[in-house]
């Protein structure tokens, strides 16, 4: 796998299913830093690096979903010589889905499974308008969702670094939501959600069933939008079980 600025690759190649993890709005690849250890040999874990944060801090932030998914599809296509699974949390679920569509349209490969977490299905998305409001309103929304970003907002130096990325991602999502369309994919789909998430209803997350009606499952956790932080071990166990059931996609029978 050649180096790509879009992916944080495992330190050493493995033989398991390739799991590509897509971060939430304002988030970065480091959010998934413990996943390789938690999943062990079940997966070769890759984390997506969005521009404008962490080791890509000097690069322009993406303005549209297309600015993320076109280069991401290019970066991910070489991975499909083995089974690939996408996991996306919150905004990451939308990015994973749109990237999967682009790859499928190109004939470059289809993920064996799409794991969508804490995000309404494409046809259930509603713009928030928060990108155009002041910092106070934006920060209040981020705090209400919890997770590591909420903690970063308590530190002025970190706030200065992360707030531009948060605002850019919220604007990207507000642009995307009215245009999002539900399309089916030849893949298994699992939807995860926090049962007490005040921003994303379980029903809207379970609506991901429309992407793959015959191969859909869902699971709720006792938590809020970032349920996956306190339930990291349980989620890893669930994901690991799904990875072990993955079989090569027909696409893999031809040379990539």
According to the model, what pLDDT value does residue 247 have?
54
Dihedral pair phi/psi, residue 3, rounded to 5°:
-60, 140
Distances (CA, A) of 137 to 114, 132, 212: 32, 10, 36
Taking the C-alpha atoms of residue 135 and residue 37, their distance in angstroms, rounded to an integer, is: 36
The superfamily (CATH) of domain 7-122+180-242 is: Alpha/Beta hydrolase fold, catalytic domain (3.40.50.1820)
Cα gap 202→219, rounded to integer Å: 9
Averages of pLDDT over runs of 10 residues in the chain (256 residues) are 88 83 96 94 94 95 97 96 96 98 96 98 96 94 90 84 94 97 97 97 98 97 96 97 72 34
- One of 15, 30, 90, 245 is an active-site residue; which one? 90
**59-90 burial string, b = 16+ CB within 10 Å, else e?**
eebbeebeebbebbbebbbebbebbbbbbbbb
90 is catalytic: yes
Q: Is residue 43 within 8 Å of 19, Cβ to Cβ?
A: yes
Alpha helix segments (H runs only) across 78-223? 91-106, 135-145, 147-152, 156-176, 202-206
Predicted pLDDT at 246 = 82
- Domain borders along the chain are 7-122+180-242
pTM value? Answer: 0.94
């Amino acid at each position: 796998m050649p180096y790509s600025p879009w992916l944080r690759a495992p330190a050493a190649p493995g033989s398991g299913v390739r799991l590509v993890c897509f971060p939430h709005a304002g988030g970065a690849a480091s959010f998934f830093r413990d996943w390789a250890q938690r999943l062990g040999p079940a997966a070769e874990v890759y984390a997506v690096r969005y521009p404008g944060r962490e080791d890509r801090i000097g690069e322009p932030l993406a303005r549209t979903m297309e600015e993320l998914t076109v280069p991401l599809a290019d970066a991910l296509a070489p991975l499909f010589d083995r089974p690939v699974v996408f996991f996306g949390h919150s905004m990451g679920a939308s990015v994973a889905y749109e990237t999967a569509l682009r790859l499928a349209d190109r004939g470059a490969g289809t993920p064996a499974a799409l794991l969508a977490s804490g995000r309404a299905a494409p046809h259930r998305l509603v713009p928030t308008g928060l990108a155009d409001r002041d910092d106070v309103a934006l920060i209040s929304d981020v705090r209400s969702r919890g997770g590591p970003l909420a903690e970063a907002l308590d530190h002025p130096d970190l706030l200065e670094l992360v707030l531009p990325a948060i605002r850019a991602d919220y604007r990207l999502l507000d642009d995307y939501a009215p245009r999002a369309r539900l399309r089916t994919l030849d893949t298994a789909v699992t939807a995860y959600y926090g049962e007490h998430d005040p921003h994303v209803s379980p029903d809207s997350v379970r609506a991901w069933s429309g992407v793959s009606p015959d191969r859909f499952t869902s699971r709720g956790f006792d938590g809020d939008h970032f349920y996956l932080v306190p339930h990291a071990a349980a989620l890893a166990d669930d994901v690991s079980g799904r990875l072990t059931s993955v079989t090569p996609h027909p696409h893999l029978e031809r040379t990539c």
